[in-house]
Amino acid sequence: MDPNRWSNGMPRRRVLQTLALAGAAAALPRGFAAGSSTRRLGVAIVGLGGYSGELLAPALQLTRHCRLAGLVTGSPHKIPDWQARYGIADANIYSYDEFHRIADDPDIDVVYIATPNHLHKPQALIAANAGKHVWCEKPMAMDAAEGEAMIRACRDNRVQLAIGYRMQHEPNTRRFMAMAQERPFGRIVQLRAEAGWLGWRQGADDAWRLDPARGGGAMYDMGVYCVNAARYSSGLEPVAVRAWDETARREIFPAVDETTRFTLEFADEIVAECVTSFGRNLNTLHIDCERGWYELSPFQAYDGNVGRASDGTRFAAQLGERPRMQAEQMDQDALAILEGRAPRVPGEEGLRDMRVVDAVFASVRNGNARVPL
HEC per residue, 312-363: CCEECCCCCCCCHHHHHHHHHHHHHHHCCCCCCCEHHHHHHHHHHHHHHHHH
User: Could you tell me where the beta strands, DSSP code E, fall in the chain?
Assistant: 41-46, 66-73, 93-95, 110-113, 133-136, 161-163, 188-196, 240-245, 259-265, 271-277, 282-289, 292-296, 307-309, 314-315, 371-372
CATH topology assigned to domain 167-319+346-372: Dihydrodipicolinate Reductase; domain 2 (3.30.360)
**The amino acid at 283:** N
Query: Which residues belong to CATH 3.30.360.10 in the chain?
Result: 167-319+346-372
pLDDT (tens digit per residue) in 174-196: 999 999 999 999 999 999 999 99
Query: Which residues belong to CATH 3.40.50.720 in the chain?
Result: 22-165
Residue 7 has pLDDT above 90, yes or no: no
Residue 20 has pLDDT above 60, yes or no: no
Q: What is the mean pLDDT of residues 9-27?
A: 33
Q: What is the mean pLDDT of residues 156-172?
A: 98
Which pLDDT score is estimated for 37?
52
Which pLDDT score is estimated for 335?
98
Does the domain spanning 22-165 belong to CATH 3.40.50.720? yes
Give the Cα separation of 85 and 89 in Å (integer).
12
Q: What is the mean pLDDT of residues 34-58?
A: 88
Which pLDDT score is estimated for 305?
98
Give the Cα separation of 254 and 247 in Å (integer).
9
Mean pLDDT rounded to a whole number for the chain: 91
Q: What is the mean pLDDT of residues 142-170?
A: 98
Residue 238 has pLDDT above 80, yes or no: yes
Residue 24 has pLDDT above 80, yes or no: no
Which pLDDT score is estimated for 250?
94
Determine if the pTM surpasses 0.85: yes
Lowest mean pLDDT of 13-27, 199-213, 269-283, 286-300, name the range. 13-27
